[in-house]
Amino acid sequence: MKGQRSRSGGYHKVGFEGGQMPLQRRLPKIGFYSRRGKLRVEVRLHELDLADAEQVDLDALKAKGLVPRTAQRAKVIASGEIKKAVKVKGLAVTPGARKAIEAVGGSVES
């Protein structure tokens, strides 16, 4: 047997292409996956109705499974309709969502 593999110490690095520029170096570097995005969650207005609680906070949303257990922050966005009055506590709220919550008799606390 002849060749590099039959010799002692004969190996090449993973991705080595015989002197040609390796694929992982030929391609451009693009972006990354932010770990921060996993911790923040958006909640739509109609999902507040699904919480079935008079006071909606992050713990209530987690208990109903509307947000992941790993979420650290949630923001209520004006998407969909809210039909019952709820008290939103400790969640970030967009201006449009705040108007919609207060229009049905609810309130928002920071």
pLDDT digits (tens, 9 = 90+) for 59-103: 999 999 999 998 999 999 999 899 989 999 999 999 999 999 999
pLDDT of residue 51 exceeding 90, the answer is no
Residues 6 or more apart from 84 whose CB is under 8 A from it? 49, 104, 106
Q: Do 73 and 41 meet the contact criterion of CB atoms below 8 Å apart?
A: yes
**Quick one: which of 43, 32, 49 has its CA closest to 90?**
43
Q: Where are the alpha helices (DSSP H) in the chain?
A: 23-26, 45-50, 58-63, 95-103
pTM: 0.66
Nearest to residue 91, comparing CAs of 48, 49, 53?
48
The CATH topology of domain 37-109 is Ribosomal Protein L15; Chain: K; domain 2 (3.100.10)
Span 33-57, mean pLDDT? Answer: 87
